[in-house]
Structure 1
Amino acid sequence: MGIKNTVLKSADVIIVGAGLSGCLMAWFLKQRQPELFIQIFEQSNDLPLKRTWSFHQSDVSDNYLNIKSLISKEWQEHTVHFASYYRNLTGRYASIRPEDLSNKIKNEFAGQIFFNTEIVSVDEAAITTADGSVHKANCIIDARGPETLTTKCGYQKFLGLHLQTKTAHGLQNPIIMDATVKQTDGYRFMYVLPWSETELLIEDTYYSESSLMDNEFLRKEILNYVSSKGWQVQKILDEETGVLPIPFFQSQSNEKKLAVIGARGGFFHPVTGYSLPEAVKIADRISQLKNPSTAAARTVLNRYRNEQYWQKRYFYLLNRLLFQAAQPNERFKIFERFYSLPESLIANFYRASLSNAEKIRILSGKPPVPVTEALKCLINSGV
């Protein structure tokens, strides 16, 4: 006997998926239009917020104040370390810890988040759950997890340990890239966030052809790095991992009629894999719609996608140069050269707003990759 469909009370907005993009969308809608009836449906038994999100203030400059209360920690400066130089960068850097975002969203949307809910279909006007219930809304936002990419890609993968040190570690500002470590499995660097005088998040990070990780080995590598800095571990407080696709070309979504956000909709920085800045920009635009509808949200997304087309096409080219033109153990040279460029250019790179002159500047000068391999990537891109 089949399950009989039950149509439940309509909402103004239904958000399917409570990851980062879904949570930020709900947050912006609530702040901008508190009268809206919002429902969030999540298939797991808790918010799937399992890793720290970091960003430069300039990445979200127009919306910094809108997310300031979500920020766990921010710093006035940050550094990069390479064998040939160390550099201090003056832009403000911020992080949102998963437990902090989870607590804020649960408190803000108490009674409006439905966990352990399997979604069997999503369309423009309603979602259907595994028990046969049909939930209607004027606006359906699809924020489910990413689909399998339909294009070739590399990966940015990491394992991070949240540590408490026995004594003050002395680190004042984040090290967003310490590439002085041994270069293995592609471009490798340590990423270090000082949460307090005795707390650190340290991530062993790789730009690699493979998504596979030996977690036990990476834990040992992080502890070896800690020891090399003269820090002593009091306790391992937590652990987080991630594998971010670094695509070589634009991946096309099959869900043309839906308003799809987040990584599933292709809204992330192609080179860094970071999704928070684009999630903020998109939430900002959709939350300004009066009487939001699925069609209107989809129009906003398509307009944003068109605006970003040439920026992202350029970033896909950079990804091909990184993975297909550079030898794995030589990839660090690309980042080493990039971080020697003007701070304004670096900031524009992260917020995906490079001028044509800046795009040329990144590729000009003595090439950090073989010229013949670079030309193959350029020809392959059609530019």
Structure 2
Amino acid sequence: MTGHTFDIAIVGGGLAGGLIALAVTQARPDLTLRLIEAGAQPGGNHRWSWFASDLPAGGDALLAPFGKTAWNHGYDVSFPGHSRHLASRYCSLASEDFAATLARELPAGAILTGAEAASLDAGGVTLGDGRRIDARAVIDCRGFAPTASLSGGWQVFMGRHLRVSRPHGLTAPVIMDATVAQLGGYRFVYVLPLGERELFIEDTYYQDEPTLDHAALNARLDDYARTQGWDGDILGSETGVLPVITGGDFAAFQAEQRIEGVSVAGARGGFVHPLTSYTLPFAVATALAVTAEADLPGDQLATKLETMAREHWRAMGFYRLLGRMLFGAALPEERYRVFERFYRLSERLIERFYAGRSTMADRARVLAGKPPVPVSRAVAALTRPAPPLRAPEHKDYP
């Protein structure tokens, strides 16, 4: 398009917005776009990880330009009564590599950082400093907005990038080490061996409240590293509070986010795995879908993404049910038993679970047999209303 009007303006340079910008650039270099990010760089301070089996067709090609770490020979899990190695390929992408790739791959000037959006409308974006960016289509990717329309619990975490003083000896990621003390919710430590002397370790909790105690989590990461014999330098850290969605009124949630004629994508649009809080596979699928319809007028693209989000909500019902049982039926210190039992199931079933593509047979298998929680509590959890996903008092959203 000509002048100062762009084909697409994307507000929010996180995972969803960045991947849409990249996908459109790869497939439709004739289109003009702006990626508008309030922070100093796209991606913020975060790390995204995924199983290779999570990605839809076309996903590998979209992610190919990124400098990521991959473990081709699987990963480990460890629980008090069960440990296992699984062969699924695992990948991880750090936000600095995400930002560097977008800067390299997108057209010069396409990324606008340090730009807070004051308002969005069907014809463009008005920035906080009064500047106006006009666009045929506007896509809102500003992240999950806490809401009373959805219910559930929270995944709270603190991660730390370490350079240790001697080789750590790990050859595979530890996706869940739940042998640690269970403190008020399902707790596990997540460990990625990034190099011979580099590690990323993260202390994660499935808990009822969105409380992130920085001092406590820092101390627990210190203790875990000390127990493993890892001493060295801290290269970086991150924190986050993610929703674990177990129910709610999705139509009301969509109405809260809706700006007439503006598309909504990413977690803000509901494109998440409700139990694991994973977003990357769905961000990839959305980016590819937007690219396929990149010539649509903005209002038609908005309608298409709303419809996709409703279909995604319906498809994720099984995982919301499991989340209600996890939070409502299992005592906080016993929640690990749910995951311990799950990791005794077949590897392909586990892959489909994380990808959000569980078959009817998978669902029956997950629910079959002796449950890891009392049946009476499980039944009660399915009828008892869950707490709303209201905003926490701090600002630790990714």
What is the Cα deviation at residue 12 of structure 1?
A: 0.6
2:65 equivalent among 62, 69, 78: 69
User: What is residue 167 of structure 2 aligned with on the other side?
Assistant: 168
- 1:303-325 deviation digits (Å, cap 9, x = unpaired): 42343343312211111111111
Which stretch of the first structure deviates more once superposed, 123-132 or 313-322? 123-132
User: What is residue 189 of structure 2 aligned with on the other side?
Assistant: 190
Equivalence map 1:178-257=2 (5 Å)? 178-229=177-228, 231-250=229-248, 251=250, 252-253=253-254, 254-256=256-258, 257=260
- 1:186-232 deviation digits (Å, cap 9, x = unpaired): 00000000000000000011001122122222222122212222x33
User: What is residue 59 of structure 1 aligned with on the other side?
Assistant: 54
- Amino acid in the other structure paired with 1:68: A
> Which runs of no fewer than 5 residues in structure 2 stay unpaired?
386-398
User: What is residue 159 of structure 1 aligned with on the other side?
Assistant: 158
- Cα pair 1:75 1:92 within 8 Å, conserved: yes
Classify the secondary structure of the residue corresponding to 1:13. Answer: strand
Classify the secondary structure of the residue corresponding to 2:64. Answer: helix
Classify the secondary structure of the residue corresponding to 1:173. Answer: coil
2:22 equivalent among 14, 23, 27: 27
What is the Cα deviation at residue 152 of structure 1?
A: 2.4
Classify the secondary structure of the residue corresponding to 1:145. Answer: coil
**Aligned equivalents of 1:176, 1:348: Cα separation in 2:** 16
1:357 equivalent among 354, 358, 361: 361
> Which runs of no fewer than 5 residues in structure 1 stay unpaired?
1-7
- Cα pair 2:161 2:237 within 8 Å, conserved: yes
User: What is residue 80 of structure 2 aligned with on the other side?
Assistant: 83
- Amino acid in the other structure paired with 1:41: I
- Amino acid in the other structure paired with 1:266: G
Classify the secondary structure of the residue corresponding to 2:109. Answer: coil
Which stretch of the first structure deviates more once superposed, 200-209 or 250-259? 250-259
- Cα pair 1:52 1:98 within 8 Å, conserved: yes
- 1:359-380 deviation digits (Å, cap 9, x = unpaired): 1211111011121121123346
- 1:14-36 deviation digits (Å, cap 9, x = unpaired): 00111111111101110111111
Aligned: 1:315 with 2:319: yes
User: What is residue 396 of structure 2 aligned with on the other side?
Assistant: none
**Aligned equivalents of 1:275, 1:359: Cα separation in 2:** 21
**Aligned equivalents of 1:307, 1:264: Cα separation in 2:** 15
Aligned: 1:347 with 2:351: yes
1:119 equivalent among 107, 117, 120: 117
- Amino acid in the other structure paired with 1:113: I
**TM-score (structure 2 length as normaliser):** 0.89
**Aligned equivalents of 1:380, 1:328: Cα separation in 2:** 17
User: What is residue 390 of structure 2 aligned with on the other side?
Assistant: none
Cα RMSD after superposing both structures: 1.7
**Aligned equivalents of 2:172, 2:138: Cα separation in 1:** 41
Aligned: 1:283 with 2:278: no
1:107 equivalent among 104, 108, 126: 104
User: What is residue 177 of structure 1 aligned with on the other side?
Assistant: 176
**Aligned equivalents of 1:132, 1:221: Cα separation in 2:** 45
Which stretch of the first structure deviates more once superposed, 299-308 or 216-225? 299-308
What is the Cα deviation at residue 165 of structure 1?
A: 1.1
**Aligned equivalents of 1:160, 1:33: Cα separation in 2:** 37
- Amino acid in the other structure paired with 1:217: A
User: What is residue 332 of structure 1 aligned with on the other side?
Assistant: 336
- Amino acid in the other structure paired with 1:157: V
**TM-score (structure 1 length as normaliser):** 0.93
- 1:222-249 deviation digits (Å, cap 9, x = unpaired): 22212222x3312111111111011221
Number of residue pairs aligned between Structure 1 and Structure 2: 373
**Aligned equivalents of 1:128, 1:226: Cα separation in 2:** 46
**Aligned equivalents of 1:290, 1:163: Cα separation in 2:** 41
- Cα pair 1:267 1:278 within 8 Å, conserved: yes
1:12 equivalent among 7, 11, 33: 7
- 1:103-126 deviation digits (Å, cap 9, x = unpaired): 111233331222232322212222
Equivalence map 1:264-303=2 (5 Å)? 264-303=268-307
**Aligned equivalents of 1:202, 1:132: Cα separation in 2:** 42
Classify the secondary structure of the residue corresponding to 1:177. Answer: strand
The 3 A distance-change label for structure 1 pair 130 and 209 is same
**Aligned equivalents of 1:166, 1:374: Cα separation in 2:** 47
- 1:67-95 deviation digits (Å, cap 9, x = unpaired): 02214100021111111121111111000
- 1:134-159 deviation digits (Å, cap 9, x = unpaired): 32212111111221222222111111
- Cα pair 2:51 2:88 within 8 Å, conserved: yes
